[in-house]
């Protein structure tokens, strides 16, 4: 009988209720979070989610999944559990840590959402954090020498900037000029979105401390460079290759920040009176050659679309992580999408706002959910990103505000 019940269990609809994030900072001794702990950033996010949603009793949270790429120091010690305790959640609420490099928060969402769909959870908090100032990517790692000795990967696979240069080699139509133009446009779109009030309401102000400057308040993203021009980008150094094409201007920087969201099944959302930001349709991850990891969103998106019976023509909004401009442009070229297609990163992307590795997936989701509220003509959107060591991840979402007449 038990086996029969299990085999007949229907999957439940998973809802992205709401997402928030800290302002993103520049990594390093002069960044806004230089003297702020990574776990305290996560705590701030969890507390803000609960503050914004008093209709959610804390004891109803069944899981806390928090991602970090460098799980060491204040990003270690099973940060999902420790952050939950530090945030004041009941001790009955479990938690765990997760790592899929840049797609950590994305994987925290898909993993927790799978548990909700299966019926193991009703409500979960998922997110990510990266304090690249305290913990540079690769800190403390010890890659197996067989990777190079057995030629399992190209030596450039472990240096993300070099993988971006490799993408330029593989896709010569993606020139440095196109990459710089896309980067300048990202900065402009972000600046206009901030001025229009589209970006800002999802931010959680964070009290910061500096031994030199005293207390402060982080209330806006630190990395953006408004007024960036293509001409200004043209002369930047190419640190990953002499006379290369990847610069600090057409790539995301090194950043600190945290994100988090509430996920629940549709019945629990109705029971508690929680809002429906968007509904999960499907997701997929895919592997690619590690030395061209930036192409990962292409097979991941193809797989996600195929498994859900959709095509790119059905997708009305695209939030793709801008780790490097070349990676976004390779994705757009593959699907026949113009560089300036209004569906793509309409409020700017990581080149402007920053990319604190494992946290970025939920930033993409939060931004997409907020866009859905003003786009009743759009039914489906995707969040997609490349992932270090040769992967890509894509999640497809449905707009609960859709009224027909568009994608």
Residues annotated as catalytic (active site), given as ranges: 102, 355, 386
CA proximity to 323, closest of 379, 270, 373, 364: 364
> What three-state secondary structure class fits 55?
coil
Pairing relationship of beta strands 278-287 and 391-398 according to DSSP bridges: antiparallel
- DSSP per position, 139-191: TT----THHHHTTSS-GGGG-HHHHHHHHHHH-TTS-HHHHHHHHHHHHHHHH
- How buried is 48 (Cβ within 10 angstroms: 0-12 exposed, 13-18 middle, 19+ buried)? buried
Tokens 């945030």 sit on residue: 87
CA proximity to 96, closest of 72, 63, 124: 63
What does residue 379 show for φ and ψ, rounded to 5 degrees? -95, -45
CA angle at 102 for the pair 362 and 93, rounded to the nearest 5°: 50
Tokens 């990967």 sit on residue: 153
């Amino acid at each position: 009988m038990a086996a029969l019940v299990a085999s007949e269990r229907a999957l439940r609809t998973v809802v992205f209720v709401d997402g928030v994030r800290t302002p993103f900072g520049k990594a390093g001794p002069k960044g806004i979070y230089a003297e702020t702990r990574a776990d305290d950033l996560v705590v701030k996010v969890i507390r803000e989610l609960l503050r914004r949603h008093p209709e959610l009793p804390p004891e109803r949270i069944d899981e806390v999944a928090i991602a970090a790429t460098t799980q060491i120091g204040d990003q270690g010690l099973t940060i999902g559990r420790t952050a939950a305790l530090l945030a004041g959640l009941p001790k009955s609420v479990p938690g765990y840590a997760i790592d899929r490099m840049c797609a950590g928060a994305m994987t925290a969402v898909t993993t927790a959402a799978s548990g909700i769909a299966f019926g193991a959870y009703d409500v979960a908090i998922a997110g990510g954090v990266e304090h690249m100032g305290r913990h540079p990517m690769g800190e403390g790692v010890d890659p197996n020498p067989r990777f190079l000795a057995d030629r399992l990967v190209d030596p450039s696979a472990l240096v993300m900037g070099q993988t971006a240069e490799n993408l330029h080699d593989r896709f010569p139509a993606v020139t440095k000029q196109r990459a710089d133009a896309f980067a300048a446009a990202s900065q402009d779109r972000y600046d206009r979105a901030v001025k229009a009030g589209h970006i800002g309401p999802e931010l959680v102000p964070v009290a910061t401390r500096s031994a030199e400057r005293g207390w402060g308040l982080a209330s806006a993203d630190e990395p953006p460079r408004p007024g960036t021009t293509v001409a200004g980008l043209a002369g930047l150094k190419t640190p990953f290759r002499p006379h290369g094409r990847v610069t600090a201007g057409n790539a995301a920087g090194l950043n600190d920040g945290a994100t988090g969201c509430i996920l629940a099944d549709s019945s629990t959302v109705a029971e508690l009176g929680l809002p429906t930001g968007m509904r999960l349709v499907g997701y997929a991850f895919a592997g690619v050659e590690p030395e061209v990891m930036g192409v990962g969103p292409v097979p991941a998106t193809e797989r996600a679309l195929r498994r859900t019976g959709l095509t790119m023509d059905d997708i009305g909004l695209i939030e793709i992580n801008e780790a490097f401009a070349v990676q976004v442009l390779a994705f757009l070229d593959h699907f026949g999408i113009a560089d300036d297609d209004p569906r793509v990163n309409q409020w700017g992307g990581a080149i402007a706002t920053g990319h604190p590795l494992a946290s970025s997936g939920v930033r993409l989701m939060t931004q997409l959910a907020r866009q859905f509220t003003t786009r009743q003509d759009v039914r489906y959107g995707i969040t997609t990103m490349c992932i270090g060591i040769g992967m890509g991840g894509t999640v497809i979402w449905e707009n609960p505000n859709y009224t027909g007449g568009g994608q």
